[in-house]
Structure 1
Amino acid sequence: MVILSNDHCLAFCTLGDTSWTSLEDYEWIFIPVDLVYSNKDELFYCKHECSALHAWNLHNLSSPRRIDIKTGHFYGTPDFPESEKKLRDYSYHCLAFESHSGDLLLVKRFVGEVADDGTIIDDSDSNSFKTHWFVVYRLNTIKRGWNYVTDLGDGVLFIGGNHAFHLSANDFVTGVLIHNSIYFNIDYECYYDMGIYNMQDFTVKSIFPSHLHALNNIEHHPPIWFTPNPENK
């Protein structure tokens, strides 16, 4: 299942198909921005630009079924400083599932540049465009909203140009992954941003040594994350 960005619609294909099957044409208020599959309930979850959340049941391929999920409230969000609140206009959302529980996570990434006086620096200047912090929520189907997540425990999130995913640091050799962190990369026009966000102290640090910062010069080929299999050691 994929998002056809030019047509703002979803499509799927199965083994043996020679073409994609479009699910539906969205109105402008239902522009899909992210899509993930749940092994837990065997549904595709789609986040839309207007904050709507839908799930797709493709068990019967001749009659795909859309499930509307009400998520109107965000619970437990801390009161951030005023300067950081202004960055909310420059936020990007993505979805991921926790590897063990199967719970759906909503990740908000805030990017831009804040001057000392609290004003937002024009992000048309590529040198000022960078990731500042993240906010993570867990879907609460009972309250029909999102619960603020303060700690990922041994969890590690990977987000970037491809789909986001969640791993447990305990499934790998000690020190390979930093628990309670978000590994990210972003490709914005000619600027490239990559790092590790620490959920405990809200800091961002570089993944690579300084001599590897030449990655910022990569054009048209932004890196993507891939999922290793910890059982294949």
Structure 2
Amino acid sequence: MTAACAAALALGTAALTAPPAAAWDLPLGHDVSSHQRNVDWAGARARGARFVYVKATESRSYRNPFFRGQYKGARDAGLIRGAYHFALPDKSSGTAQAAYFVRHGGDWRPDGRTLPPALDIERNPYGAKCYGLGKKAMVRWIRAFSDEVLRRTGRHPVIYTSTDWWNDCTGRSKAFGPDHALWLARYSSAGAGRLPAGWSHWTFWQYASSGPLPGDQNLFNGSRAALERLARG
């Protein structure tokens, strides 16, 4: 997730330093990118981290230079980890960006330690909110990305998004909720709130941009055993 998008989500909301009170018993996690560089993974684990998503790629022109070390370091520390791709739908097709992502870290294996690949699709930090795409074109782009990830990995991607962006830029599409896990972006101490169209529950919730863990703070909506089942596929 970009710093600009984090600022937009956090507008008017103080950064949380702990999970919302109602969610203390859920597995804690975080997500990192090149901004976090060399993460103290053992320290993150000691502070409660049980999973992490690591940024691998953006569009078809960027690879996180710290990805390899971050991804391996997370696993070595005992965290369940996955990779995510930051989408720029105005730059190239969903199929092309998915292929680039899978080739450069977005693959998946049924080892119980690897989360499904994730698509970060949100407000454009470089220009028009919806990347200049109409609602139907955006849905087609996301579908093309998903289909290519599924073809290459055997898993549908997790979709990271906010409710407002999704409803505005996809026209409240309900096409992905039945078979794509939701990673909800909403910074609030009051709960996850209204979900994007098509989803009845969230799987991951990014609830703050800072806290005890490196990067953004997240929760998994289930038990540790359920998290491991998600990783196994």
- Verify same fold: TM over 0.5: no
TM-score, normalised to structure 1's length?
Answer: 0.30
Please state which structure has a larger fraction of its residues in helix: 2
TM-score, normalised to structure 2's length?
Answer: 0.30
Bigger relative contact order (CA 8 A; separation at least 6):
2
